[in-house]
Amino acid sequence: MTAIPPDIAERAETLREALHRANYRYYVLDDPEISDAEYDRMLRELMDLEASHPDLKTPDSPTARVGAPPLDKFGTAAHSVPMLSLDNGFSDGEIMDFHGRVQRLLETDEPIFYTAEPKMDGVAVELVYEAGRLVMATTRGDGVTGEVVTENVRTVRSAPLVLLTDSPPELLEVRGEIFMAHERFKELNRRRTEKGEPPFANPRNAAAGSLRQLDSKITAKRPLEIFCYGAGLMRGLSPETQGKLLADLKALGFRINPLARSGLDIEGVLEFYRTLLEERSGLDYEIDGLVIKVDRRDFQERLGAKSRSPRWAIAYKFAALQETTRIRSIEVQVGRTGALTPVARLAPVSVGGVTVSSATLHNEDEVRRKDVREGDAVLVQRAGDVIPEVVKSIPSQRDGSEKVFEMPKDCPVCGSKVERAPEEAATRCINAECPAQVKGRIRHFASKAAFDIDGLGEKLVNQLVEKGLVSSFADLFELGQSDFEALERMGSKSSANLVSAINDRRKISLERFLYALGIRHVGENVAILLATRFGGLDAVMDAPAEEIEAVEGIGPEIARSIRQFFDKEENRRVVRRLMEGGVMIEPRDQADETKEGAEALAGKTFVLTGTLSGMTRNEAKAHIQSRGGRVTGSVSGNTDYVVAGESAGSKLDKARKLGVRVLAEDEFLQMIEEA
């Protein structure tokens, strides 16, 4: 063995320390101090040093993040303290029962406080630190013995390899959940599908599959993260409460869920549950409930555990967002753009408290990829307020009677030919007069974000089109009371109401008008961008594609689609007929956003978080964009303002950390009014 020159050993140590710190700032605090390039440069230098002096390499070197040589199989190790599971509660009543039990068993007059934490839906692990260094990581396994996945866990950037302290505890066993964030999960699945590999069914499966790789170099390429929430054996650390344990772990460099709250009484816990339930769909990771823990650790000890779960904690579960059911049939629907969408008709099943009886299968390729057949048992999911979808089929439950889906060759509504453009996933009916397309366009035209015609719902639109009373939106403004009276279940009163509802809507803002036209790729946001930039309808209709494309937020494909729409004589004719029928576009300076206002927030980047009481998120976004500002999804050093509504979560924490200006709802309103 050649001796390592002291200056080189010293340099390696300096680099290791700097890299650990940079890693912690980036992955745990989400608040980097050095650039990615600087990080890469230091990592490369350390890798070079370690390559030329192999004795320099330590197991907790930041270079270990890239993975170690593959294993033949995982070893196993017993947990020094069993990793228990949790009892579940599904209602306030069950949580109050839990609280009652705790009070009774403790026989104390002292108030009982709780720490409540989001229940991460990932994979439980235990990380063992001796003298401040990660020496072993295990999965939960059966709770008594787990698999040793040390090298894999070393690749998880938010799991510390060394603790951030000069006087580390002698022994520290930390427990936490390894998970994959939604966006990363989608991106991983997208890449897998591209390569012809089977996608993961959900983020938890993706996390579990990635963690249990014998080759940790594969794990290293998977975007895994960790939140820590508990401890096994500790020597040299003795927090008195769960809240203090979390704070101690945080100070040592562990990543703790910023939404965790301590010092809550039981009413506070129930309130927090409701807040979290509302925030759930906005989080970028999966949670399936709230874990409620008696805060005082001496109380925890007195309460003890049953065979599988502690008496001092309970999981207040959210309703599941995935369920299994069976596909009764696959139908094909035709939308307003002519796209044929296969839709699974399901045996009704309750998913997260909502009955689901149909789910979209998106398009032909998706049906093939998921190998979904009529009669199949399937996993369905509902996420937030999006349309339910079929996640995958369960082929092991097939009995041979299932039918493979074929995309029809003709439109199931009008019988015209269907076409699929080579670069597109959608198969489309080519007949613009197809009743399904006409109905879809009219429904869109009358919808809330467009002309917002009260009472003109799907059933009425269908009848109007089927009776030949309406074939384009311009026809709507020519309808009289007697036309409506001829329809099913329409009396003279409701008919008169509808006519006046339509009349009331003749005056409209430019952005709503543009959105209502149903131009492909022109959603509410693009419509606002167009209205802001061009100010009037004629200017939009005649703008060259390059000018449209020059609008920030509008790409070439959108610009082309807008141009194509207005180049078609029939579309220009419909617009003319609307104007002749009395539709009036409010001039921009009379609409609520003035032209000067449009400039007022130019160059400013906003992030919205939490619930605003006076407007929806889309409205807030529209206000910002119509004044020239930008709205992005995540807080970074480039964010100018974070608008924080009720129960704002991790984005607010991040804003505070980064020193980004936070606006309360009233401050935001004031800014909008002044702009």
Q: What are phi and psi of 145, to 5 degrees?
A: -125, 140
* Cβ 130 to ligand IVH shortest distance, Å: 23
Main-chain phi, psi angles of 318, to 5 degrees: -85, 155
116 touches ligand IVH (CB under 6 A): no
Residue 247 interacts with ligand IVH (CB under 6 A): yes or no: no
Shortest Å distance, C-beta 297 to ligand IVH = 12
Q: Which of 57, 119, 392, 467 is catalytic?
A: 119
| Residue 657 contacts residue 29 (beta carbons within 8 Å) | yes
Asked if 412 touches ligand IVH (CB under 6 A), the answer is: no
The CA distance from 95 to 113, in Å, is 14
For 3, the enclosing helix (H) or strand (E) is none
95 or 124, CB closer to ligand IVH?
Answer: 124
Strand partners for 117: 291
Q: Token pair of 188, please?
A: 């991983």
- Give which of 162, 128, 257, 151 is closest to 211, Cα–Cα: 151
Which listed residue (291, 601, 612, 655) binds ligand IVH by CB under 6 A? 291
Question: Which residue's CB is nearer to ligand IVH, number 47 or number 112?
Answer: 112
d(C-alpha 373, C-alpha 445), whole Å: 35
Interacting positions 438-467 with ligand IVH (CB under 6 A): none
> Which residue in 85, 357, 397, 564 binds ligand IVH (CB under 6 A)?
85
CB of 315 to ligand IVH, least distance (A): 6
Q: Tell me the closest approach of the beta carbon of residue 293 to ligand IVH, in angstroms.
A: 7
Does 86 sit near ligand IVH (CB under 6 A)? yes
- Give the CA count within 13 Å in the CB-facing half-sphere of 13: 7
- Contact window for ligand IVH (CB under 6 A) among 19-27, 80-88, 238-246, 520-528: 80-88
User: With binding defined as CB under 6 A, does residue 140 bind ligand IVH?
Assistant: yes
Q: Is 119 a catalytic residue?
A: yes
In the complex, what is the shortest distance from the CB of residue 239 to ligand IVH, in angstroms, rounded to a whole number?
A: 15
* Of positions 161, 315, 446, 460, contacts ligand IVH by CB under 6 A: 315
Which residue type, as a one-letter code, is found at position 345? R
Interface stretch with ligand IVH, choices 116-124, 364-372, 545-553, 652-660 (CB under 6 A): 116-124
State the number of binding residues for ligand IVH (CB under 6 A).
Answer: 15
> Footprint of ligand IVH on residues 458-517 (CB under 6 A)?
none
Indicate the residue whose CB is closest to ligand IVH. Answer: 124
- The token duo for 660 is 């980004």
CA gap 520, 566 in Å, rounded: 12
Site track 32-71 with ligand IVH (rule: CB under 6 A), x = hit: ----------------------------------------
Compare residues 101 and 191 and give the one whose CB is closer to ligand IVH: 101
Q: Does 553 bind ligand IVH (CB under 6 A)?
A: no
Helix axes 92-106, 266-279, angle to 10 degrees: 150
Angle made by CA atoms 444, 447, 451, in degrees to the nearest 5: 100
Is 285 near ligand IVH (CB under 6 A)? Answer: no
What is the SS3 assignment for 130? strand
Cα gap 627→14, rounded to integer Å: 49
Residue 84 Cα to chain centre, angstroms: 30
Sequence-distant (6+) residues with CB within 8 A of 66 are: 155, 217, 220
Coil, strand or helix: which one is 338?
coil
The catalytic residue positions are 119
Binding residues vs ligand IVH (CB under 6 A): 84-86, 117, 119-120, 124, 140, 177, 229-230, 291, 310, 313, 315
